[in-house]
Chain A
């Protein structure tokens, strides 16, 4: 263990985590609250990406509907909040439960299919949730809804940006820790074995369907958690948080960071936001007004990554995917 802490990649990861942990202090020192809000969102999306990586990276299941879990987590908080139930002790378990139940339903149906069918059925189920959300006129419909933040009276005040950031950061660390244990566990090995050769795993005696189903439940719960945090971050829910573009963004983050690598989603989420936040002003520097069209550069960048840099940032840092 001790020598591994000092490899360059471990150093970079540690530095990154320290930076994220210290962000509220840095933001205060430079007097820029925008950095903190971007930083918190990076942390939340990293949690969502970690959860997608569990099934996409380790399980090889190309789920194109991961934003639905975020939406369900967020809407569970928002709907309870709008009905006067502000306690986080009720909201959060309910939200995680709802996301997990949805994951069970989607997985039970979609895991019967393979390949493109799987991609499309997960996408379609996410659209279903999206349209349900936009049809909820009582909760803002398409426009979304401002909500009160979850209350953990006497424990933590989520309205305080710094406390909220630290809470998110702690939960990200918990997710990363779990993901590390998970990938080396007997369960993780079965999941990765099924990614490598599903037929072989069945012939060895593994009921692959059941293992994948459980992996989807876990990923769904973590996705729901990201949704809970996102709703609390902006004190706002809207169907946009579960649009299919968000599901695409999550895939981008996972692949960009390094698929099937524990810290990959963290790099990916960071790179995604840094690219977005720097491409806009960068292009504006080249020519006033070009920043608005940053995706003209970002889109082809994704094509290049898909074609030539499948290992993502993690492989640049020398991580082997497992």
Chain B
């Protein structure tokens, strides 16, 4: 069964058609890659799915439930999490408190007595062991991303939307992050939709890719298929000259 079904969704801002008639689905156990040149509408598409903005046309279904136009907290409680291109932890709060808020926000908040244990476990899992009492503002870039991931996991999602999880990381950190994403899928049964510009990473981790260009879905398939697709090459590199 498809966990997320996006059905002919469109959104425009003034005269700009940011997302036009996009349909796709996310299968159980999948890491779905979403790529496309800058300004293709990838982040807008995430905003439409996560409820930050409402589509002009089309529906979004999650786990059999129509979530189109629901407020973001309801979508989060249904089991859909998202992270941002620039990590946005609650800066004035500790790592512990950051995760705690997400545990409380769940549809069925974690019981009081289990919270400290759950938080420690989540922070260990993402590699923030021993940093419970650190202020989020004191963390470096990758640790902020780790914290954001721990917080997203604390909402107990079925699907997580990752917006450029690797942006700004060194190659060693990228390997760590990719290992983490894979183990979240395998150990916690979370499915991902993942926007990424680091092609090597997305080609390795994803079984299926979507390519967006100027708000339209131009290609869908395995990484190998997508890499050979003429429309994709044109979107990234431009059309070959007539004289060539």
Chain B binds chain A = no
Instruction: Please report A residues at the B interface, Cβ cutoff 8 Å.
Output: none
Instruction: Please report B residues at the A interface, Cβ cutoff 8 Å.
Output: none
